[in-house]
Amino acid sequence: MDDTTLPAGAEPVEAHEAAGLRSNAGDEKMEADRSSTSEPVRTQVRPSTPLTGHLRQLEAEAIYVLREVAAQFERPCLLFSGGKDSIVCAHLAHKAFTPGRIPFPLLHIDTGHNFPETLAFRDELVEELGVRLVVRSVQDSIDAGRVQEEPDGDPSRNRLQTVTLLDAVAELRIDAALGGARRDEEKARAKERFFSHRDGFGQWDPKNQRPELWNLFNGRKLSNEHFRVFPISNWTELDIWQYIAEQGIDLPSLYFAHEREIVNRDGILLAVGAYVIPRPGETVRCETVRFRTIGDMTCTGAFRSSASALTDIIEEVATARITERGDRADDRRSEAAMEDRKRLGYF
């Protein structure tokens, strides 16, 4: 276990500085939560200029995959986390089927530890796209005794959502779950197929994947099996941001620089809120930060940034020297953390 390893690039924070802020941090955090449920950043819907070059090809590839899923499966869904990658996927799904409606629902596995901004944004997007939203919550799985919460102070529910997800797949008889994972994110993902097979237990067998040739996707399976499908496999973080900028896609405000209360835990800057309560010895500081990825509040690290416009973010991403998941506590648990979670049916 190497959770305590400092991510490269993270600056150490002086532990006792600004200790005075801590006493009333508890009261302020509720305030902060409410006030930060502010409107998502709405860029004016503008007629996007026709895409060129690599983005045009990546878009065409993703749309092709989305249409293959709609055609080859009976009950697909699009896993929606509220992060930029799943927002881009929803946008691509709209483009793939317009003027028709997206022919599958969005499925949100709600850990209960979401940023409030994420949920507000989700609801607006669903209304705008006219798509059906299905929510299954980790809390229900806990209440039903399907999973047990980690015992320590600020438990991570990241691992638990696998059970909720697989239960939802079984309950809704989902045969293909589309997701916004990208191969550049992590080295186990670099070897995953567009159409990734899951056995009857939802498990991935990385050593025994089907060869994927040309753009001929084999979605055949037994009735209790399912597929995870990744339309944006070949996109990089920079591609995502360039596409968002060129297409004028709205994003939750969390992605843009804003002031927020944070604590430094194991070198990761966590946003103080209902699910992240400062521990003794931790200092709450108000800083200008933004998020590079959005997961649970308990494991998504913020970083100090003043990038408040898309052009600033693209510049920042283009020159970044650490990976975006470098700020994710969930990936830092071991060298093969992602592979192990994926084998068990993680996203």
Partner 1 sequence: MDLLRFSTAGSVDDGKSTLIGRLLYDSKAIFEDQMEAVEQASAARGDPSVDLALLTDGLRAEREQGITIDVAYRYTATPKRKFIIADTPGHIQYTRNMVTGASTADLAIILVDARKGVLTQSKRHSFIASLLQIPHVVVAVNKMDLVEYSETRYQEIVGDYRAFAAKLNMRNVVYIPISALHGDNIVSQSQNMPWYHGATLLHHLETVNIGAGRNNVDFRLPIQYVIRANSAVDLDFRGFAGQIVSGRIGVGEEVVALPAGIRSRVAGIHRGDESCDRAAAGDGVVITLEDEIDISRGDMLVRVRNLPHSSNQIDATLCWMSEEPMKIEWSVSNNFSGQWYWLQQSTRRVRASVQELNYRINVDTMHREEAPTLRLNEIGRGQIVTTEPLFFDSYQINRATGSFILIDPHTNNTVAAGMIRDRARRVSELVQKQEEREAPSLRASRSSNVVWEPVAVTRPMREELNGHGAAVLWFTGLSGSGKSTVAKALEQRLFALGVRTFSLDGDNVRHGLNSDLGFGPEARTENIRRVAEVARLALEHGNIVLCTFISPYAEDREAARALAPEGSFWELFVKCDVEICKERDPKGLYERAERGEIPNFTGVSAPYEEPVQPEMVLETDRHSADELAQRILEALARAGIVHGGNS
Question: Which residues contact partner 1 (rule: CB under 8 A)?
Answer: 7-9, 47-48, 50, 53-54, 56-60, 63-64, 67-68, 70-71, 94-101, 183-184, 186-191, 206-207, 209-216, 218, 220-222, 233-234, 236, 238-239, 320-323, 326, 335-336, 339-340
Contacts 24+ apart (CB under 8 A), 165-171: 165/79, 165/109, 165/136, 165/202, 165/345, 165/346, 165/347, 166/202, 166/345, 167/136, 167/141, 168/107, 168/109, 168/134, 168/136, 169/202, 169/226, 171/136
Q: Based on CB atoms, which residue is closest to partner 1, 60 or 144?
A: 60
Provide, rounded to whole angstroms, the least separation between the CB of residue 259 and partner 1. Answer: 26
Q: Based on CB atoms, which residue is closest to partner 1, 167 or 237?
A: 237
Q: Based on CB atoms, which residue is closest to partner 1, 132 or 191?
A: 191
Contacts 24+ apart (CB under 8 A), 32-36: 32/260, 32/261, 32/272, 32/273, 33/116, 33/273, 33/274, 34/116, 36/115, 36/116, 36/117, 36/253, 36/258, 36/260
Residue with the two structure tokens 């998941």: 325
Q: Based on CB atoms, which residue is closest to partner 1, 110 or 175?
A: 175
Q: Based on CB atoms, which residue is closest to partner 1, 265 or 285?
A: 265
Q: Based on CB atoms, which residue is closest to partner 1, 16 or 321?
A: 321
Residue with the two structure tokens 């001929």: 216
From residue 191, give the alpha-carbon distance in Å to each of 59, 194, 204, 217: 21, 10, 12, 16
The b-or-e profile of 105-137 (16+ CB within 10 A means b, else e) is: bbbbbbbebbbbbbbbbbeebbeebebeeeebb
Q: Based on CB atoms, which residue is closest to partner 1, 50 or 145?
A: 50
Provide, rounded to whole angstroms, the least separation between the CB of residue 116 and partner 1. Answer: 29
Provide, rounded to whole angstroms, the least separation between the CB of residue 76 and partner 1. Answer: 12
Provide, rounded to whole angstroms, the least separation between the CB of residue 322 and partner 1. Answer: 5
Provide, rounded to whole angstroms, the least separation between the CB of residue 26 and partner 1. Answer: 33
Biggest CA–CA distance in the chain, Å, is: 61
Provide, rounded to whole angstroms, the least separation between the CB of residue 187 and partner 1. Answer: 3
Provide, rounded to whole angstroms, the least separation between the CB of residue 234 and partner 1. Answer: 6
